[in-house]
Amino acid sequence: MIKFLNNMKISSTIQSILLITFIVIGNISFAQKNTPLELGATIPLSEILMISVNDEKMSLNNNFNENGLLVVFSCNTCPFVVMWEDRYRQLEKMCEKNNIGMVYINSNEAKRRGDDSLEAMKDYAKKMGYTFPYLVDQKSALANAFGAKTTPHTYLFNKNKSLVYKGAIDDNFRDVSQVNETYLLNAIEQMVSGKDIKIKETKAKGCSIKRQQKN
């Protein structure tokens, strides 16, 4: 999608319109029964085991660290993930520095035989140099429990396993140099400093999570 848009040499305004349309169409399929996780809630399904790109079985609890856990619902091909990838590295460094666990979750069950297969995930994680686990969410169980809608969609839990921030990484997916609000980095800094998180929730922007449709 990104490559396609860039090759077309169209204005940034039109590109933005096309990408927003892409979000809206994708999000129509999000099931209403998947209730969004509320702030203050504890980590759901924290003990279920998921396969990592290293062929290890692990849970969210296994990745929880001294000061909390950051859960990032992601995938391999979404244009929004691609544009936010440079911010992923910042988050990894921030979490490592502050003893916060971090996991990437791939819930695109409908694309498990294609772009979001385990093998494709392995290739992508290696290409991007992920330093934290990248896990397969079978049947989108974790995404459903969180009420996650998009890739990316982020959830930050404190040392008591309570949700303290959810939503977008920052306010500009297109250009890191144009970012005004680093929502997630700010939330992490404020959390580890024992301060009240000023912005606790933002709207996640991205591609819809591709859940398997029931017959």
Helix then strand then coil, % of the chain, to nearest 5 = 40, 20, 45
| Residues 37-47 pLDDT 10s | 999 999 999 99
DSSP E strand stretches across 77-171? 101-106, 134-136, 150-151, 153-157, 163-167
Give the pairing of strands 163-167 and 153-157. antiparallel
| Residues 7-28 pLDDT 10s | 444 455 555 545 555 444 444 4
| Residues 152-203 pLDDT 10s | 999 999 999 999 999 999 999 999 999 999 999 999 999 999 999 999 999 9
- Cα separation, 177 vs 123, whole angstroms: 28
The CA angle 107-98-78, to the nearest 5 degrees, is 25
Domains and CATH numbers, the chain: 41-208 (3.40.30.10)
What is the value of pTM for the model shown? 0.85
Rounded to 10°, the helix 12-27/79-97 angle is 80
- Cα separation, 45 vs 133, whole angstroms: 17
- Report the percentage of the chain scoring pLDDT > 70: 84
Query: Does the pLDDT at position 139 exceed 60?
Result: yes
